Amino acid sequence: FWNRVLNDGKDEHWTEVHAKVLADAIEKGSVLKSCLDAKQDSKMKHCGFTGTFAGHKAVMINDNSGGSLKFERVFYPPDFDLMVGFEFDGSRWHVGLYTVHTDSIHCGNIAHRLGQVEGPYKTGGGHRGAAGFETTWEHLSSLMVRDRDQVTKGGKPVGSTSERKDG
């Protein structure tokens, strides 16, 4: 595909050069992805936990950057309903909700209820798979029930050599 885009495949020399450039970019991207995965594993190990959030089984972390990608290596759909990231900006707590169970869970409705109906700042909303709201620590902490100290995937600690690779 890229050879056609870059050169129409007409010049054999350029095709070879482009293939090398593309292979180099893929290799560097793989190294970068490995570094990002290690960073996320460390964050999850030290700042993540499991439990319930507003009555839903959840994996949670005190970090609201990066959207749902921070959960990709630990979220095991049979074990959890929601992924929840939260972060304090100095005045308010920002909460991000994510799910893959969009047939049975609507993050936008949850965020609307928790943020606009129950929350002090009357913010919140989004879509089935992703949403957010702002709140106080008192309200946020009342929504979370922690049940384990370490985030797990399929019952194994994150980073464990026996960690499940499915999900």
Tell me if the pTM is above 0.85: no
Ranked by mean pLDDT, the top range of 25-39, 73-87, 88-102 is: 88-102
Segment 109-158, tens digit of pLDDT: 999 999 999 999 999 999 999 999 999 999 999 999 988 555 555 444 44
pLDDT band at 1 (very low <50, low <70, confident <90, very high): low
| pLDDT confidence of residue 41 | 79
Secondary structure of residue 92 in the 3-state scheme: coil
| pLDDT confidence of residue 142 | 95
How far is 115 from 134, CA to CA, in rounded Å?
6
| pLDDT confidence of residue 43 | 82
Strand order in the sheet with 144-148: 125-126, 130-135, 93-98, 82-88, 56-61, 48-53, 144-148
DSSP 149-165: SS-EETTEETT-TT---
Query: Mean pLDDT over all residues of the chain?
Result: 81
82-88 vs 56-61, strand pairing mode:
parallel
- In the beta sheet, which residues pair with residue 83? 59, 98
Half-sphere exposure of 112 (CA within 13 A, CB side): 8
Between residues 71 and 148, the one the model is more confident about: 71
pLDDT band at 11 (very low <50, low <70, confident <90, very high): low
Secondary structure of residue 58 in the 3-state scheme: strand
